[in-house]
Amino acid sequence: MLTELKREAYEANLALPQHGLINLTFGNASAMDRAKGIFAIKPSGVAYAALKPEDMVLIDLDGKQVEGALRPSSDTPTHRRLFLAFPEIGGVVHTHSSHATAFAQAGREIPIFGTTHADYFYGNVPVTRKMSPAEITGGAYEWETGNVIVELFTSLGLDPADFPAVLVNRHAPFTWGKTVAKAVEVAVATECIAHMALMSLQLEPHLPVIESSLRDKHFKRKHGPGAYYGQPGC
Amino acid sequence: MLTELKREAYEANLALPQHGLINLTFGNASAMDRAKGIFAIKPSGVAYAALKPEDMVLIDLDGKQVEGALRPSSDTPTHRRLFLAFPEIGGVVHTHSSHATAFAQAGREIPIFGTTHADYFYGNVPVTRKMSPAEITGGAYEWETGNVIVELFTSLGLDPADFPAVLVNRHAPFTWGKTVAKAVEVAVATECIAHMALMSLQLEPHLPVIESSLRDKHFKRKHGPGAYYGQPGC
Amino acid sequence: MLTELKREAYEANLALPQHGLINLTFGNASAMDRAKGIFAIKPSGVAYAALKPEDMVLIDLDGKQVEGALRPSSDTPTHRRLFLAFPEIGGVVHTHSSHATAFAQAGREIPIFGTTHADYFYGNVPVTRKMSPAEITGGAYEWETGNVIVELFTSLGLDPADFPAVLVNRHAPFTWGKTVAKAVEVAVATECIAHMALMSLQLEPHLPVIESSLRDKHFKRKHGPGAYYGQPGC
Amino acid sequence: MLTELKREAYEANLALPQHGLINLTFGNASAMDRAKGIFAIKPSGVAYAALKPEDMVLIDLDGKQVEGALRPSSDTPTHRRLFLAFPEIGGVVHTHSSHATAFAQAGREIPIFGTTHADYFYGNVPVTRKMSPAEITGGAYEWETGNVIVELFTSLGLDPADFPAVLVNRHAPFTWGKTVAKAVEVAVATECIAHMALMSLQLEPHLPVIESSLRDKHFKRKHGPGAYYGQPGC
């Protein structure tokens, strides 16, 4: 069942090492069918070279495995938490891409230093608080990982469409989008802007973020009713 | 019409991801036919893998789309502004290449620290002032982007042949040349010298720029009547 | 003899340049047959492109070359020392991978700054003391290299299964695992976490290591009786 | 004539972009036939993709072009100066490889921080003094570039076999060896150790160079009568 959804998830997972975002088996991607309330996700710890579309595991929003011979990604509860909290998203990607992870490890937001960043995000890429020992050891670590993300977006009133990525403190980035292909694109952009931000900080350690007019212009050039980037209908 | 011009623009656009200067659909290249007053430019937001020579959009110097089923790059007015202001150039390239963009984001010129730089530029790669909110939000953002570049070159009396690239503050590099292939070459060189300058600054934070005799020697070895680099007639 | 063992060692050696861990002929991998007490190792200074499975040299635990027309890797005594001291390991890998070697040269541990690190190591990647002039010049340099590693693990009471890599001071990393394929995987991870740690330190020069609860959670998610990462039996 | 010599020079030139040492047409390699007193060198400014073995230009030690339809590399006089001063070398390579060039631009030696370095060099990779305006503008710039290298080696009493590379101040590295293939290998190693030294300096800005016993051990393991690295006769 859901052959097309599994194919989408499969292709997104393969795209991660192709874009240099993933080493070994770090990372995973999932694609959601909102009508059915089911998402397809990578099986845990399977090498990318050996992956096949039919290996994708199907999970419903209650966390039940509805299809698949393999064990799903250990991060499945984080994906599920995000699909539940952010109803407009259709795909989630998790990587340990090097530059974005360096910011996550340092507990630092990726500052919005230029138009490349503003093309994807309406401000800094946010970073969660550290997880508590209870959240880590309580038996639902991956679900709680999703919870600290949701808590951050709720408490700051962030729209997941305006901020399609987050850094989990001491861990790594998660990204999302209307489709899993879009979530992959955001993962590429997040890694790229993290790299550039790190270098800009080397040049100017106290560099301020960009002016709101430039942020608005670039973000809205690509998003929302006034967007004029790309082809109509794309 | 202008099949050869479209092929040139197409090949230049493809060369950008091949040289590692472009991720996703960031960036664009255009090729000018001065006799006809028409340039060919990449369509907006089309993936490089899907691009075909006949997708190139033809634009005249008044900004009218004279051929092409697709919407041209959103940066088209910047290219047009440069073609109007710099009559000797035949190609323009825009990238968000990582190291050059890091300097642009920091609002810093790329200092001329060595002969690699002097082979392409007769001094630092200049950086524009920041654009004003009025320029950003006034409805002609991309045209105004061209204007701040032209203003910089006019106010400093810079010859675009001596300085075939600029960093737009908070944004990214634009490069140009007699042909679009040359503009691609300058884009590669700009990224390369930005990378090396960043590392030289790590080693020597107060490193001075090179002496004028060395700058003159290397630049003129490759440019102008006394040039002796390369093959005659190349 | 031991055709399969030689093939494993051969494939592990080839994987090193494929993962970007090795330039030229720096580095080597060996695979152990515990039942026979013999390991297969790369011949010294042979280019990877020219390597064949049957070129692998067979060495026993007394250091005797039991098969092979070529001279074994000059680092063979280090491998042998590790196989003797760590009876549970079946493969050893030595690289000069750039970021890990930068830490080794600086005599610095790789600090455990995030979950990527904790997925592989139960703490910082340790670094040996410097070798003494006597150890260096006494005629058994490579054996003594193994000795300073063993001394470090013994004196700190480190379990080689919890810390499957070490940085030899002023030199470079060695990694190991139950199989040589696992040792290659650890070599990839070590390089990756060294890169990320270096960047996190650029962002936060006094960044503390992660909390023990997060370290325990990620390490034990993948290792030991409570592991639930990957597929059962993998 | 000298078909084999031209093929060697051709292959060495092609190896430079393959190893990531060269962008565009920066850099060149030459191979010497000592019996004939003639060397083969890359033609100037020809793209690597278009290069053919028969394009190599033959030059004698007086600087006369003895064969070849194309103009030789503009750096030919530097190669000739080195072949004259260092009679034991059979190949010269010039690159603008990024990390080594960053040191050259900063006027800094590459410090000997580890065994990777000591496997190739018997100390820091030296850097020349800056060239004087007279040397730069006097009409024999590339010959004078060779002269400042020779002056450095003479004044410090350096043996070119112990120090097979130099950084020309404000410019870039030159490397050499018994064969041009060996000079390419040294160019790869020089770039690699420059990268690692830059990172080690980020970790420890005042890191001392390695002890002389470790330097001697690694250098002599690979060079001279007591060498035991590699295969006999290689």
| pLDDT tens track for D43-100 | 998 888 889 999 999 999 999 999 999 999 999 999 999 999 999 999 999 999 999 9
Query: What six digits make up the tokens of D51?
Result: 């290069």
Give B106's contacts in chain A (Cβ within 8 Å).
113, 200, 203-204, 207
Yes or no: say if D17 and B178 are a contact pair by the CB < 8 Å rule. no
User: In which residue are the tokens 């999932």 written?
Assistant: A30
CB D42 within 8 A of CB D213: no
ipTM over 0.90 threshold: yes
Task: State both tokens at D120.
Answer: 């190739």
Q: Is the pLDDT of residue C128 over 90?
A: yes
pTM for the whole thing? 0.96
B167 — pLDDT class (breaks 50, 70, 90):
very high
Contact list, D98 vs chain B (CB under 8 Å): 192, 195-196, 199
Distances (CA, A) of C9 to C44, C64, C74: 14, 18, 16
Residue A229 annotated among the catalytic residues of the structure: yes
pLDDT at D224: 86
Neighbours of chain A (3+ CB pairs under 8 A): B, C
Annotate B129-187 with DSSP letters as a single string: PPPPHHHHHSS-HHHHHHHHHHHHHHHHT--TTT--EEEPTTS-EEEEESSHHHHHHHH
Residue B233 in this model has a pLDDT that exceeds 70: no
Q: From the candidates B115, B185, B195, B204, which should be mutated to test the interface with D, based on the most D CB atoms within 10 A? A: B115
Using DSSP's 3-state secondary structure scheme, residue D76 falls into helix
* Dist. CA C71–CA C62, nearest whole Å: 16
Neighbours of chain C (3+ CB pairs under 8 A): A, D
Tell me which residue in C98, C137, C172 faces D217 most closely, judged by beta carbons: C137
Kindly state the tokens that stand for C62.
Answer: 């007394």
Where chain A has pLDDT below 70, the residues are: 232-234
Q: Is C33 a catalytic residue?
A: no
Q: Where are the alpha helices (DSSP H) in chain D?
A: 3-18, 76-85, 98-106, 115-118, 133-137, 141-156, 180-203, 212-222
Note the pLDDT tens digit of each residue in D197-224: 999 999 999 999 999 999 999 999 889 8
Q: Please provide the distance, in angstroms rounded to a whole number, between the alpha carbons at the two ends of chain A.
A: 28
* Closest CA–CA distance from residue C38 to any residue of chain D (Å): 22
Exposure string for C44-64, b = 16+ CB within 10 A, e = fewer = bbbebeebebebbbbbeeeee
Least confident of B218-222, C207-211, D23-27, D141-145: D23-27
Distance CA D148, CA C79 (A): 45
Burial string for B149-180 (b: 16+ CB within 10 Å, else e) reads: bbebbeeeeeebeebbbbbbbbbbbbbbbebb
What are the φ/ψ torsions at residue A145 (nearest 5 degrees)? -60, -45
Calculated CA dihedral for residues B168, B172, B173, B174, nearest 10 degrees: -70
Q: Is C50 helix (H, G, I), strand (E, B) or coil?
A: helix
* Dmax (CA) of chain C: 53
Query: How does residue C150 score in pLDDT terms, banded at 50, 70 and 90?
Result: very high
Considering only alpha carbons, which residue of chain A is nearest residue C200? A102
**Strand (E) or helix (H) holding A109:** none
Residues of C with CB under 8 A from a CB of A: 113-116, 119, 185, 188-189, 192, 195-197, 199-200, 202-204, 207, 210-211, 213-214, 216-217, 221, 228-232, 234
The sheet that has A173-177: what strands, in order across it?
A65-67, A57-60, A38-41, A28-33, A91-94, A173-177, A165-167
